[in-house]
Structure 1
Amino acid sequence: MTWRLESVLTLVINTLWMQCIVMGKDVCKCKSQTLCEPITSSHRLEVEVFAFHLEQNKWAQYHWSKITTIVVSTGVEEEIYCLAHSYNIRLVLEVGITVNHLRNDATMQMRLFFVVQTVEKYKLDGIHLLFSPKLKKGSKHYHDLTRMVKKMVSYFHIKLPACQISFNVPWTPNCKNERCFDFLAISSAIDLLFVESFNIYNDMREGCIATSTSPYQHVLTGLSDYIKLGVDSRKLVMGIPWYGYDYTCKRFSLDGACELNCSNPVKESIPYKTIVKLLPRSLTGRLWNDDQSAPYVVYMRDKTYHQIWYDDPESISMKSTFLKKLKLGGIGVMKLNDVDHSRTSRATLHAEEMWNALCPP
């Protein structure tokens, strides 16, 4: 029964491929035809500046001259597409891979078909692959994921030679939280690894105390471990959070520690643009932790203490030194919309500081 299903899926896929071949491409809607062509030239900057754009209609004030790649998750607005290409910025599609896509060659091929169709429809410059499920080293899906990534790379590089292919990986290759991939094999196949050098708290629950989402030493250790594994450092893009976590304290100790519920810590993501507005109204204002090289702030809501840990220009600048120290391929922002890019004087100042912190001299 299984082989019959796979045969039917293969037939459907081949039919869809043929339909795609005969379908005409959309007419270019940019002011110049060249803006509708894939980006093929090398980047203007010495390092990759990789950024996630996950909301529509909030892009006009980005610092376009400082970006090399923008990841989009849905259909692309014509204006952002034309503007990005005018700055020689690649637009790549975020592509989620699930366990279901790894079942067999037919399901892999079906996923590949729809990805290629979307990239060609919007004339994008590549794909950014994301696999979130837990994966144990050496398991069947461990090898299937590598096979699927290689299949996508092989097809895209034949059909769209100039496309850029990147892949999301956890902050460390040491299989924390059972997110274990064949990192070396995948890195050899693709162009860039986007290292999630944030949300590290999810893997480090010592003491049940609120802590930085991106502690300096952990970030350095995680990146160094990828290099020790044999991954080319020039393929590593260090991800930086433009958000923090608002922790609800179960208890607030005299030494300033925010004690959490160990089994179910209550926290919520909060963008940097919200944090800077809250600072003047907080109990403490901005505080600094030397051990983690990170800022935090304490405030009260509904008679309960809250502690926010986040990254700001100072903490980001410190981690940006890893670019030269480890000879990394670049730095990445998660995500662009978390900083206020409006034209008010205060917003302009904060945005400028955050952008400048990414690539210090």
Structure 2
Amino acid sequence: MQGLPGGGGARFWLALLLLQQARVGSGACPCQDPSLCNPISGSRDFEVFVFDVGGKTWKFYDWSQITTVATFGKYDPELMCYAHSKGSRVVLKGYVSVKEIVKPTVRAAWISQQVDLAKKQYMDGINIDIEQEVNMSSPEYFALTALVKETTDAFHKEIPGSQVTFDVAWSPGCIDKRCYNYTGIAESCDFVFVMSYDEQSQVWTDCIARANAPYNQTLGGYDDFLRLGISPKKLVMGVPWYGYDYTCLNLSKAHICSIKEISFRGAPCSDAAGRQVPYRIIMKRVNSSLSGILWNEEQKAPYLEYSDRQEAFHQLWFDDPRSISLKAAYVKERGLRGIGMWNGNCLDYSGDPIAQEQTKAMWEALKPK
């Protein structure tokens, strides 16, 4: 998930002004049933956390499972009303520059704006998505933990039953130079959403195409979080509903795809050599591929190979119901808080019968067996 670009003080205050302008003008409940504007309270035994990036595909989600929708697209009062009718929370996206929040007054102003916006839009909390570089024990390191705690305290006080969550990388090991106080942040909010994808953002070995979220690497990240003393009930597993398409500089008979060297935050190679592709597009490419869907047993992930119009070979790695089900089983085994995905819009919600089956299978894979 990508946040807005960081900036100076002027841009920060401009962002606050834009938030003010984004509010629902009258403050009147937009739902036909005014009771649907009441915040959702209580919690379910198993969390299914969905990121929505806009549009109307939410109408076709599996609402029998969803507990929370994080709105990363334009505010949609119809979505809020519908989610509340299903007993599901709808939360804001929260982003702020870590350099700005070192100042307590800026933190307080930002939090006040978020609470006010949530009230105006009848939202049930906020999902804080920062993803910026932070050095260990730096002023930003302590300020970020303080921001999470202060935001949680404010939301819980002002909106009873509200939920505050924070997005973390797939491992607590300073991924992409995000050296956060993971234990402090987890303790300070309702739970953290672990982004178990983009796990090739920093590649320190051979520059070859790999799975977006390899099974053992993914589970190793959770083991590391748990070893820090973070409760499993504070962890929601995020899975990708998209993959990476890599152009191969060379594709061997053993299915090794060499890729362009593109560095990222110190690492010599990264998944920036590929491009993100939603699951619905991947499935449309299967029949025209050279390989059909292949399976890598070591990474426990599917992939396919195809050639483009310039006759260049590609390798496309993704997650499907088989790979996601394996991870969902770990969620159940270790007693994690739940599961979720980036993002709900990636599936094909058209009336095509084959697409309907594929989409249903992806939603079903979230249910631990």
TM-score by length of 1: 0.90
Distance 1:360 1:72 in 2: 25
Counterpart among 327, 330, 342 of residue 334 in structure 1: 342
Structure 2 residue corresponding to 1:313, chosen from 298, 309, 321: 321
Offset of 1:24 from its aligned partner? 9.4
**Helix, strand or coil for the counterpart of 2:206?**
helix
Could you tell me which residue of structure 2 aligns to residue 347 of structure 1?
A: 355
Stretch moving more, 76-85 or 312-321: 76-85
Provide the residue aligned with 2:28 in structure 1. Answer: 27
Confirm whether residue 359 of structure 1 aligns to residue 358 of structure 2: no
CA distance in 2, matches of 1:102, 1:42: 30
Moved over 3 A (4+): none
Q: 1:194, 1:348 → 2: CA distance?
A: 28
Superposed CA RMSD: 2.2
Query: With structure 2 as the length reference, what TM-score do the two structures score?
Result: 0.88
Cα deviation, 1:185-234, whole Å, max 9, x if unaligned, reads 11111001000111111133421110001000011110111011011101
Residue 270 and residue 75 in structure 1: after superposition, are their counterparts in 2 closer, same or farther (change >3 A)?
closer
Uncovered stretches (5+) of structure 2, i.e. residues with no partner: 1-8, 264-271
The partner residue of 2:312 within 300, 304, 328 is 304
The equivalent residue for 2:267 is none
Specify the SS of the correspondent of 1:115: helix
Q: How does 1:262-301 map to 2 (within 5 A)?
A: 262-263=261-262, 266-301=273-308
Moved more, 193-202 or 252-261: 252-261
Q: Report the equivalent of 2:78.
A: 79
Q: Secondary structure at the match of 1:206?
A: coil
SS in 1 for 2:172: coil
Structure 1: where are the runs of 5+ without partners?
Answer: 1-5, 18-22
- Write the deviation string for residues 48-95 of structure 1: whole angstroms up to 9, x where unpaired: 000100122222111111111000024432221111111100000111
The answer to whether the 8 A contact 1:171-1:200 is kept is yes
Tell me if the contact between 1:177 and 1:203 (Cα under 8 Å) persists in the aligned partners: yes
Q: Which stretch of structure 1 is more off in the superposition, 34-43 or 276-285?
A: 34-43
Q: Check if 1:123 corresponds to 2:131.
A: no
Residue of structure 2 in register with 1:135 after alignment: 134
1:113 aligns with 112
Residue type at the aligned position of 1:341: Y
**Higher mean C-alpha displacement, 341-350 vs 235-244:** 341-350
Query: Is the 1:47–1:330 contact (alpha carbons within 8 Å) kept by the matching residues of 2?
Result: yes
Distance in 1 separating the partners of 2:156 and 2:77: 25
Other-structure match for 1:176? 175
2:58 corresponds to = 59
Q: What's the offset of the Cα at 1:113? A: 2.4
The residue number in structure 2 matching 1:155 is 154
Distance in 1 between the 2:357 and 2:88 partners? 24
The structural deviation recorded for 1:124 is 0.1
Q: What letter corresponds to residue 32 of structure 1 in structure 2?
A: D
Higher helix share: 1
Indicate if the aligned counterparts of 2:247 and 2:314 stay in contact, CA closer than 8 A: yes
